[in-house]
A and B are shown apart, each in its own frame.
Chain A
Amino acid sequence: EAGVTQFPSHSVIEKGQTVTLRCDPISGHDNLYWYRRVMGKEIKFLLHFVKESKQDESGMPNNRFLAERTGGTYSTLKVQPAELEDSGVYFCASSRDRAHTDTQYFGPGTRLTVL
């Protein structure tokens, strides 16, 4: 079974530009999560999809971040326009069921650097 995949693995952009991160969850996993780790800080939750619906987006930092999950399959996270403080590693995870009853499987992350 293929794991969670993320693309790209690294992205370097200028402040003010737009970047789109992609996540492909494990096949059959209805739950998809985005997390972010800013350097020196803990991994923080951004949002949670159940199929194509946003279940919880309480962790999204501001309206420059837009997440979508078309057809309940892969998900994209767009940052527009990017700011310096958006730099960090963005992780995607998926699970068959909700967090407290099932394991979340994480992708390798996308390292975003905003210059």
Chain B
Amino acid sequence: AQSVTQLGSHVSVSEGALVLLRCNYSSSVPPYLFWYVQYPNQGLQLLLKYTSAATLVKGINGFEAEFKKSETSFHLTKPSAHMSDAAEYFCAVANQAGTALIFGKGTTLSVSS
């Protein structure tokens, strides 16, 4: 069965600092992995997805994630944080049947000036 673990429910960074949000997955089949972001009072927006092509995936707003099979990880990074990046971030894996996404508990990112 597939599952996702997000390490750290809250992450705080300074503006301009590196953003690193951690996600580890468990999957009995090659995984399809996603990062979504939810800004206040909005729906979830897809940042990027891994579908077994390149292991380094670039997304919107300067975010990227690297799929590491040996570490079963799919961490999200951004070189320089902006105030506008403050939001809740969700890592997800598609279930084996492809009928649903299985989400982690989310990580709230705070950015201070």
Chain B nearest CB: distance from A80 CB in Å?
24
Q: Are B102 and A45 in contact (CB under 8 A)?
A: yes
Q: Are B36 and A106 in contact (CB under 8 A)?
A: yes
Q: Are A48 and B100 in contact (CB under 8 A)?
A: yes
* Residues on the A chain within 8 Å of B49, using CB: 103
A56–B98 Cα gap in the complex (Å)?
A: 10
* Residues on the A chain within 8 Å of B46, using CB: 103-105
Q: Are A101 and B43 in contact (CB under 8 A)?
A: no
Q: Are B105 and A42 in contact (CB under 8 A)?
A: yes
* Residues on the B chain within 8 Å of A4, using CB: 43
Confirm or deny: B90 has a beta carbon within 8 angstroms of a beta carbon on chain A.
yes
Q: Are A99 and B95 in contact (CB under 8 A)?
A: yes
Q: Are B41 and A55 in contact (CB under 8 A)?
A: no
A48–B43 Cα gap in the complex (Å)?
A: 18
Q: How many residues of B contact A (CB 8 A)?
A: 23
Q: Are A42 and B104 in contact (CB under 8 A)?
A: yes
Chain B nearest CB: distance from A51 CB in Å?
14
* Residues on the B chain within 8 Å of A98, using CB: 98-99
Chain A residues 23 to 81 lying within 8 A of chain B, measured CB to CB, are 33, 35, 41-45, 48, 55-56, 59
Beyond the given A43-B44, A44-B103, A99-B95, please list 10 additional residue pairs across the A-B interface where CB-CB is below 8 A.
Answer: A3-B43, A42-B103, A42-B105, A56-B100, A100-B51, A101-B51, A101-B98, A106-B36, A106-B43, A108-B43
Chain B residues 74 to 101 lying within 8 A of chain A, measured CB to CB, are 90, 94-95, 97-101
Chain A nearest CB: distance from B39 CB in Å?
10
Closest to A55 in B: B99
Confirm or deny: B42 has a beta carbon within 8 angstroms of a beta carbon on chain A.
yes
A91–B88 Cα gap in the complex (Å)?
A: 15
Can you list 22 A-B contacts with CB-CB less than 8 angstroms, sorted by A residue number?
A3-B43, A33-B101, A35-B101, A41-B105, A42-B103, A42-B106, A43-B90, A43-B103, A45-B99, A45-B100, A48-B100, A56-B100, A91-B44, A93-B44, A98-B99, A99-B95, A100-B32, A100-B94, A100-B98, A103-B49, A104-B101, A106-B44
